Chain A
Amino acid sequence: MIFKSLLSSIRVCLRETPCRWLLIMTLLGLGLRENYPFSQFPMFSSFSNRTYFIHLADADGTALRTRQFGLSNSTMKKIFDRYRRAELKHFANAGSERVPLAEAAAGQSLLQYLDGLAAAKPAARKSLLGLQVQHVKVRQESNHLIFETKTLARHQ
């Protein structure tokens, strides 16, 4: 009974409101989550006092432009994150070594992905030998920013 009246109220509300498309789009966005073109638009939806980014470096450790592989640095980080999430599940029982192991494996997977992209880009192919994935942790302590860099993976 309550359910029926609720449904009919929703139907009347939808029929009467001049903004029903707004309602539909908002509900679709919340319900379908990240399914292009729908999204919840989660960018910067929460902040933490620590985060990280990654970048590429050549065999000598000199930083390389991510764009030379045909993708932006933020896109590369999202791809790395996808591998990282998968590897964290894979190393679920590794105890305190879980995160370092997962990040090293994700770094290797990212290098393999870049291998595929470089196949179509002669300029990028030259940079593959000794290519490194570097991980930079950023954290805020007492109103100051602190950066820590480590190498995650190296191209053989």
Chain B
Amino acid sequence: MTAQRRIPTFAFYERLVMRLLFAWLVWRATPSALIVNGIPSPNGITRLFDLHFLLDPRVFSFARIALGAALILYVLRLVVWLALPVALFVNLAASGITNSQGAIQHAEQIVSLILLAQTVAHFYGLWRRRHGEEGVVLESRAVWWSQQTIVAVYLLAGITKLIVSKGLWIFQARWIGVSIAKAAYQRYYNGFDWEDLEQQLAVARFAAAHGWIVALIAGIGLFLELGSPLMLVNRVWAATLGCGLICFHLGLDYTMGLTFIYNQWALAIFMVNAPYWIVTGVRKVAGARRAEITSP
């Protein structure tokens, strides 16, 4: 079986919209300023390289400009061999520093991982091209690997739940009210939104009082995570489970204030892929009309 047969193909307009939206996502997900106390607890890339030079605001401003330029080149498909590594370095370095403060966040990781996947896919594709692979596969592979990265993120989250809870996650979920209450107060102390606190505490009290209903809902979430590889079967599965996971995130946002907005955007861009469904729908309607006109 050739690589072309294995890798799903994506039309030019799909790839363009994906590049445009993903570049915007990288720009948004990369910290715009570094308000930190040095690098007290190195994590990830900061363990490998001394990145203290980026703490100088002038150097970091230059890095942001370089990131912006790299993302424009990436969207236009110009000097991608340079644009992707530059964007990846700035993104990893800035996020690596903010994650080296003794507190690891998981909000932006999906964006960095997709960027890493696209960079590796590009260079692997260049190597494959030297062995006769068609150019269009190179771009489709970037999307295909991005989709696999998204699946890996959810699959890992599901596997970890089973490992850490020793398979008892759904059973333990009846205590989710305690976590909802904690998250509610943590959000409250960020901005003193009393209404938001009241609403979330009501959810927490409901969860504490009706633990098994909440465990059932949590079970659906776990099923979505462990079933995420189905998104790689075809476009229908990708869009259906992609929408399911977005709804799951919206539910978590409402009950626990956990937005994971970059996960939602990554799912919308690479899995739901609305442009494809819009274009396919329009083409079908146009085709049906044409058939109606031409039929005797």
Contact = CB atoms under 8 A, between A and B. Distances in A.
Contacts of A43: 106, 157, 258
Contact of B113 (A25, A48, A117): A25
Q: How large is the interface on B (under 10, 10 to 19, 20 to 34, 35 or more residues)?
A: 35 or more
Nearest to B40: A113
The interface residues of chain A, by DSSP majority, are classed as: mixed
Contacts of A76: 103
Given A47-B178, A72-B186, 17 more contacts: A18-B6, A21-B117, A21-B152, A25-B149, A34-B43, A39-B104, A41-B153, A46-B165, A49-B178, A63-B189, A65-B191, A73-B187, A79-B101, A116-B37, A120-B35, A136-B185, A138-B182
Interface of A: 18-19, 21-22, 25-26, 29-30, 34-53, 55-56, 63, 65-67, 70-79, 82-83, 113, 116-117, 120, 136, 138-140, 143-145, 147
Interface of B: 6-7, 35, 37, 41, 43-45, 47, 92, 95-96, 99, 101-106, 109, 112-113, 116-117, 121, 144-145, 148-149, 151-153, 155-157, 159-161, 163-165, 169, 172-179, 181-183, 185-187, 189-192, 204-205, 208-209, 211, 229, 232, 258
24 contacts: A18-B7, A21-B145, A21-B148, A25-B148, A26-B159, A30-B156, A35-B43, A45-B160, A45-B161, A46-B164, A46-B172, A47-B178, A48-B178, A51-B178, A51-B182, A53-B186, A66-B189, A74-B103, A77-B186, A79-B102, A79-B103, A138-B178, A140-B208, A143-B208
